[in-house]
Amino acid sequence: MAASLLTLRTLDGDVAELHVEPGEHIYRVAQRLAELKKPGEKVFARLVHEGQPLPPGSKVGDHDLAEVDAVWCKWTPPEKFGNSSNEVLPRRQLNVKELHADSGRLDISGTFTKPGYDRLQLAIDLPTAAFGLGLRVLDLRQCGLAPESLLTIFEKLPSSLEELWASRNHFSLRVLQCLQQKALQLRALDVGYSECDICTPLPDLVCEKTEELILGDLNDLLPETFAATLAKCPFLRSLDICSCWRLLGSFGAIAALPELRRLKSQRVDVDEEGVNQVLRSCTQLEHLYLERVSSSGSIQLLAKLENLKVFAGQVATGDLGNQLICEICQLKVETLLICPGLMAEDEDEPSTALSENVGPLVQALKNCVAGCIAVEASSVDPAVLEAVGCRLCRMDNGLSSGSFSLISSLLEMKHCCTNLLSLSVNYWEQIDGKQFAQLVAACPLLQIVHLNADDCGFQISPIDEGILALGQHCHQLEHLDMYDRIMKEPAKTLIQATEGWPLLNYLCMANCVRVDSSWLEVEEIGVLPEVLARNCPKLQEFVVYDDDMRNLRAIAGLKMDVRLRDGRTIRQGQKPNEELPREVPNFQEEERSPGPELRSQLPRHRRYMLSGEVGEGLMTITEVTSSRESPPTQERVDTPPPDADEPARSIPSIPRLSWDRENPGDDPTPPPAIVGVIPYHRTVQDTQAGFKGFLKLRQGDELKLAHPEVKGRDGEYYFYGKKVQDASQGWFPVPCLEASEGDLGDLEESPQDEWMEERDWEQFTDPLSLEPWFWRKSTEEYFFPRLVREWRKAIDPSSESGVWWCHQGKKRFFKQPKVPELEEDLATENPQEARPVMR
């Protein structure tokens, strides 16, 4: 059949004429109309004929059309819950002494401090004039402020404050009580995604004027506190409780908010009755993010929400799941997330596939009026993608077991990828560089690409061709993660590809370097930081922490000097940030082998991280190393004689101590200090606690230590003893590392004649492993005995409590504090919930 002329009229009286083919999909006609009339705008056209919306998945030939109406709708992809894997705000450095509240707003969000200028001093230096009665909005998000700093700021708050944005900080009971005493009439309160052990004052921080409340990821938010808080703000319009896992059974309390417009509740255990209560009462909902939908009754209530524009929620799998998804597709929404993943009652394991018995689902998607559809599934039938068409905005197969190839499926339906913004090809799919290049050529709007395999050595062939295609076709790219995907010529590939990524703010190429000296281009890897600074002016994080980069360094013989923009050189020496809590639990993390050929030469693990400020680019590369060898066995050492009394500050000379394992009396000399084959031989203190870290350098700032994979034995993620977000959510508190004097090549410590006693060491107990660890407040040092080489145990057989710890490299020692009985040492009766107790 020949093409015909179709007349399209919009509500504003505008008229457009398009030549259409009988086999052309309605969604494609709508897209062409949007490109013609509203180029560059995030809108889509919903086509209506005789008062009825035309099914987007149907074809022009299925209808007798000569003239249709077009209704413009906003094209909005569903939000990722909680934090994304990168920082949510740009990092910046401000001169706080010059700040003032313009138009009633004071914004220091994302602020970091200079070396030697801690966050507490920043809080003190905030000018009092900025907190005048005209201040209405205070934004402290993502500053990592400790309770002391928050208290200093909150004590200055005027009664005129209406909005407090303070997520991603460290709250305490005293901080909340300070806000409680202020009795502020807040329109917006944001304390989510932060540390907050006790949340009981929360109800007194809100009032009838409160319209927006963010409590996401407050692990200690209890049901009674949550219900009491909502009861105090009945006119709430926006609520975020993502990852508040203790709220089971109290979800129905949200039903007391009839004015609610936006609800984000992913990773919150909900029951059907509670969900239905909310859907019956909160009839004004426009954006709804649920953890799960498990019945047709709930979907029928969803259909009655006349203002609903965005819906995202998991549904049951199997036949019940397919039926529920079909019913969800009938919702008259603008944006829809299709995510099978909830285990049905008759299934042993959850399934997240959209590849079985898809006939009804295909028809439902064709009739779905949503203009923006996101799909998260382990496998997808091509017919499903065909039905979604160019409405596909996000595709994620992160739960795939490996039998399904997302890239191959999308290649069959390349015409569906025109508006794709986010693509995740994770875990167990082998990526063919050529196939991936063909796919991204059809995805010009891509902004987020996750290719991480999460299994070192899994990827077989290099993906250089695909990465080059990303640079050639995807100029809107902001986030690229290639963790564990190898490249043949990483430097050359990235130097060329980054020319097409002016908006890139996150790049991870960990474990992407394949050690093969026949093609390794040593010189180009050295200029990579400079190229990234030039090509990607908005780049905030460049992650290359892995064994392969260490191997690359060994083969190339590169000397990467660590320098700040002002020319200062960063050298050895470290000090954790005094702003952070002191408790440190036991950690576990998967070890990644460097390979037998280099393990003997390079017994250390290194992570690099490059970072720069927005608009300035990257100027330097940093590194941190930690021992990969198993911890040595404990030695028995003769202790200081009785004349080392309390006033003494030194221990007798070295011959009185012995570190010989077999016979303590044979060797009067301690072993030499451990000197690695690379610079920075001293282990950063945080790696001594049993987990790996990497340095993050932001232009003009001190070095930062972050931890992407910090997991305790109970499966939770921790930082200094406090639960924090996991790697998928991506925000971590950062302790500082300060520069020390001396040249980079000076690895040996200067000799000292005397052993110096340090008396301010304190002892903690890890409630998970019940093992002791030690903390020194004056220098902010700590260590776990089983994880370090530097500190050696010395036992005095003449004294019951005569246990000494001696630092072999720096000739320092201290007497171990008395260890209390187990029942005295636990903070609670349950060791899994006990916090470390300072002694």
pLDDT at 319: 55
> Do residues 146 and 265 share a domain?
yes
List, as own/partner pairs, every contact residues 187-190 make where C-beta atoms lie below 8 angstroms and the sequence separation is at least 24, other chains included: 187/162, 187/163, 187/211, 187/212, 188/162, 188/163, 188/164, 188/212, 188/213, 189/164, 189/213, 189/214, 190/141, 190/164, 190/165, 190/166, 190/214
> In terms of pLDDT, which residue wins out, 475 or 770?
475
Q: 30, 49, 74: which is the final residue of a domain?
A: 74
Quote the percentage of the chain above a pLDDT of 70. 64
Residue span of the structural domain in which 233 resides: 90-308
Tell me the three state secondary structure of residue 262.
strand
The answer to the question of residue 54 being in a domain is yes
> Do residues 95 and 186 share a domain?
yes
**Residue 817 — very low, low, confident or very high, per pLDDT cuts 50/70/90?**
confident
CA-to-CA distance for 287 and 282, rounded, in angstroms? 11
The answer to the question of residue 344 being in a domain is no
The tens digit of pLDDT for each residue in 267-314 reads 888 888 999 999 999 999 999 999 888 889 999 999 999 999 999 988
Residue 388 in this model has a pLDDT that exceeds 50: yes
Highest mean pLDDT among 394-408, 556-570, 606-620, 649-663: 394-408
Residue 382 in this model has a pLDDT that exceeds 70: yes
Residue 49 in this model has a pLDDT that exceeds 50: yes
Q: Which of 165, 204, 166 is nearest to 185 (CA)?
A: 204
CA-to-CA distance for 785 and 772, rounded, in angstroms? 8
> In terms of pLDDT, which residue wins out, 57 or 798?
57
> Do residues 126 and 30 share a domain?
no
The answer to the question of residue 634 being in a domain is no
> Do residues 58 and 174 share a domain?
no
The answer to the question of residue 797 being in a domain is yes
Residue 654 in this model has a pLDDT that exceeds 70: no
Tokens describing residue 187 = 């329109």
The tens digit of pLDDT for each residue in 196-228 reads 888 999 999 999 999 999 999 898 899 999 999
Q: 288, 308, 328: which is the final residue of a domain?
A: 308
> How would you classify the pairing of strands 353-354 and 372-376?
unpaired
CATH number at residue 288: 3.80.10.10
> Do residues 113 and 253 share a domain?
yes
pTM of the model: 0.63
Q: Which of 214-228, 519-533, 695-709 has the lowest mean pLDDT?
A: 695-709
CATH number at residue 9: 3.10.20.90
Sorted by sequence, the CB contacts under 8 Å of residue 800 that are 6+ apart come out as none
Longest CA–CA span in the chain (Å) reads 106
Residue 519 in this model has a pLDDT that exceeds 60: no
Q: 283, 308, 333: which is the final residue of a domain?
A: 308
Residue 771 in this model has a pLDDT that exceeds 50: yes
Q: Which residue type is seen at 49?
A: H
> Do residues 230 and 110 share a domain?
yes
The tens digit of pLDDT for each residue in 625-650 reads 233 233 333 333 333 343 433 333 22
The answer to the question of residue 758 being in a domain is yes
Structure-derived torsion over alpha carbons of residues 73, 75, 76, 78, reported in degrees to the nearest 10: 100
List, as own/partner pairs, every contact residues 760-765 make where C-beta atoms lie below 8 angstroms and the sequence separation is at least 24, other chains included: 761/805, 761/814, 761/816, 761/817, 762/817, 762/838, 762/839, 763/816, 763/817, 763/819, 763/839, 764/582, 764/583, 764/584, 764/836, 764/837, 764/838, 764/839, 765/825, 765/826, 765/836, 765/837, 765/839
> Do residues 143 and 262 share a domain?
yes
CA-to-CA distance for 555 and 229, rounded, in angstroms? 60
Residue 24 in this model has a pLDDT that exceeds 60: yes
pLDDT at 178: 95
Tokens describing residue 127 = 């000018």
Residue 753 in this model has a pLDDT that exceeds 50: no
Residue 237 in this model has a pLDDT that exceeds 50: yes
The answer to the question of residue 524 being in a domain is no
CB atoms under 10 Å from CB of 524, counted, come to 16
Tokens describing residue 573 = 């020496």
Residue 801 in this model has a pLDDT that exceeds 70: no
The answer to the question of residue 238 being in a domain is yes
Q: What is the DSSP letter of 429?
A: P
Q: Which of 821, 26, 121 is nearest to 365 (CA)?
A: 26
Number of domains, the chain: 3
> Do residues 163 and 218 share a domain?
yes
In order of 271, 345, 646, 685, 770, the CA distances from 816 in angstroms are 51, 55, 14, 19, 17
pLDDT at 799: 60
Whether 381 and 359 have beta carbons less than 8 Å apart is answered as no
pLDDT at 248: 78
Whether 763 and 816 have beta carbons less than 8 Å apart is answered as yes
**Residue 176 — very low, low, confident or very high, per pLDDT cuts 50/70/90?**
very high
> In terms of pLDDT, which residue wins out, 130 or 660?
130
The tens digit of pLDDT for each residue in 563-605 reads 222 222 222 232 222 332 323 222 222 223 333 333 233 223 3
Whether 792 and 755 have beta carbons less than 8 Å apart is answered as no
The tens digit of pLDDT for each residue in 80-116 reads 655 444 456 777 777 777 776 667 899 888 887 776 6
**Residue 521 — very low, low, confident or very high, per pLDDT cuts 50/70/90?**
low
> In terms of pLDDT, which residue wins out, 630 or 464?
464
Handedness of CA 53, 55, 56, 62 (dihedral sign): negative
Rg of the chain in Å (alpha carbons): 30
Q: What is the DSSP letter of 613?
A: B
pLDDT at 151: 94
State mean pLDDT over 34-49.
85
Task: Supply φ then ψ for residue 448, to 5 degrees.
Answer: -130, 125
CB atoms under 10 Å from CB of 818, counted, come to 10
Residue 347 in this model has a pLDDT that exceeds 60: no
Q: Which of 55-59, 713-717, 828-832 has the lowest mean pLDDT?
A: 828-832
State mean pLDDT over 340-367.
69
Whether 94 and 123 have beta carbons less than 8 Å apart is answered as no
> Do residues 167 and 289 share a domain?
yes
> Do residues 144 and 66 share a domain?
no
> Do residues 46 and 140 share a domain?
no
pLDDT at 586: 29
Whether 243 and 728 have beta carbons less than 8 Å apart is answered as no
For 352-382, the three-class secondary structure string (H helix, E strand, C coil) is: CEECCCCHHHHHHHHHCCCCEEEEECCEECH
What's the mean per-residue pLDDT of the chain?
A: 70
CA-to-CA distance for 598 and 590, rounded, in angstroms? 19
Residue 726 in this model has a pLDDT that exceeds 80: no
Whether 172 and 180 have beta carbons less than 8 Å apart is answered as no
> In terms of pLDDT, which residue wins out, 700 or 125?
125
The answer to the question of residue 95 being in a domain is yes
State mean pLDDT over 344-363.
67
> Do residues 137 and 15 share a domain?
no
Whether 492 and 524 have beta carbons less than 8 Å apart is answered as yes
State mean pLDDT over 697-716.
41
* CB burial of residue 429 (10 Å; 0-12, 13-18, 19+): buried
